[in-house]
Amino acid sequence: MGRGYTQFSFPDSATDDEYALYSAFLNYRMPDGKLLHVHQTECWCPTCNRIDMAERVETLAELNEELERLRNPDEATSRMLQFISTPIEEQIAEMELRIHWRRNRVSPAKCLHCGATHVVPIPTDDEFEHPKTGERVVVAGHGFMSTDQWHAEFTPEGDRLSSSYK
């Protein structure tokens, strides 16, 4: 098995490349026991002192817009939905659960490794100044690498309940 990644390089120095690794096995454990997948985004975490992954906590407007697209898909969305194996009814139910979760979410997005809330989201399709050093960072690629799977559960507020690597 493996995990998706984004690779960041530092072309103006000898700094080693850094990788932000996604996990398909991160979930919020809702109060009723249901699981909701954790959306993830690349970030700079000052506590971890590295490029890492944080929760992606969308706005209610973004989530409602996505729900509307699922309920009333345009032609392009309809074509995309044909390739997804999850039935549209399940996708709508998941989006409704995500909207319910977001309405109740109080805390800001957190680093998925240490729980810090002062993470800095970073671009994933261009270059940018490193949030700590100001050094130029280039997104060198996206892909999939063989590595241990990371399984974890979080509270709806993003606090880790359990974690393991398999």
pLDDT, tens only, 15-66: 999 999 999 999 999 999 999 999 999 999 999 999 999 999 999 999 999 9
Residue 13 · residue 152 · CB < 8 Å? no
Output the average pLDDT for the chain: 93
Residue 7 · residue 17 · CB < 8 Å? yes
31-40 burial code (b ≥16 CB/10 A, e <16) = eeeeebebeb
